[in-house]
Copies of this chain bind each other. A is one copy, B any other.
Amino acid sequence: MSARGIAILGSTGSIGCNSLRVIESLGAERFNVVALAAGRNVKVLADQIERHHPELVSVETEESAAQLKAELMARSVTAPRLVCGEGGLVEVATHELADCVISATVGAVGFVPTLRALEAGKRVALANKETLVMAGELMTRAAQKSGAELLPVDSEHNALHQCLRGEKRSEVRRIILTASGGPFRTRDKVTMSRATVAEAMKHPTWNMGAKITIDSATLMNKGLEVIEAHWLFGFAADEIGIVVHPESVVHSMIEMVDGSVIAQMGVTDMRHAIQYALTYPERFPSELPSLDLAKLSSLHFEAPDLERFPCIAPRVSGPGNGRHASGRHECGQRRGGARIHRRTDRAFRYPAGD
């Protein structure tokens, strides 16, 4: 088998950098980086170009492109073909040598290029859940039409994909997303409204980008994940449960009609899910440590507190509530999550690394 071509949207962010580590660990005979897109983090991008030699690179603006060119020249590194803006992102996403596109930009900017990649029939390893929250129907329809595969990189959805692979959809009663509960899991309601960004950034288990870490603090992220799960796997709102699990060892679960629960577990390192999305349906040895349950000693589970975390309230309130599954996820922006979202909004236009 020749090496599969990889394009990365958001290469200098948390998922992007981890993806490159995974690709490197799997070896050049298996995966080959053909195109990268990033925002303004020219230094890190230059490092990546020096190491992976992509044919095409896109940055946010012409100004960044000029900076990158200068940076590469200073290092005596041959510049790849350089493009920029949304047009550049689409070029990266549809590069003819790319078999798989890792969609890891944050927010709306990933929407068009991800859609184009699916339309072009490429496998999309999707870390950008906003894409599905905004336009899940459009995305899944495009994938169906072209035969493209949509593989989730979010640890919860990646876990669900793994659990579901041996099972028939009709025999799955419901899926259960785990939530770490974030840094405010045990914080009282009164002082929670005074929480600072710095406190919200202290995620108990996962080391991730800024936006998703903040969203995890309000559980807004879990609300978005319910919508994401709906589009990826075709479950209705009342077939999607949430259980708080502070250790994040059980990444998610499915419950079968006979009551059996299949769970996927692992260490909390995003490289697991990235590798799975790249190598599926095969699995390759990973350099990550094995999960040691005896060393962990105990795993905890609790029902989510809908009063302190209203972002997930409508999503677990019972059957027939399809509102959030159609993308109208208004509550998180208005209530508990509002202050933090507003205060940090500017940081989220591009991946954390940018």
Contacts and interface: CB of A to CB of B under 8 A. Distances in A.
A262 interface: yes
B243 A258 contact: no
Given A301-B297, A302-B294, A283 B256 contact: yes
Contact of A299 (B162, B279, B299): B299
Contacts of A198: none
A243 B294 contact: yes
Interface residues of A, number: 50
A285 B301 contact: no
Interface in A287-303: 288-291, 293-294, 296-303
A299 B302 contact: no
Central interface residue in A164, A244, A294, A300, by most chain B CB within 10 Å: A294
A220 B255 CA distance: 31
A266 B261 contact: yes
* Copies of this protein chain in the complex: 2
A171 interface: yes
A162 B167 CA distance: 9
A210 to B, nearest CB: 27
Nearest to A287: B259
Interface of A: 162-168, 171, 173, 243-245, 250, 253, 255-267, 272, 275-276, 279, 282-286, 288-291, 293-294, 296-303
Contacts of A294: 243-244, 301-303
Contact of A285 (B166, B257, B263, B300): B257
A256 to B, nearest CB: 5
A258 B281 CA distance: 12
A264 B260 contact: yes
A348 to B, nearest CB: 30
A256 B163 CA distance: 13
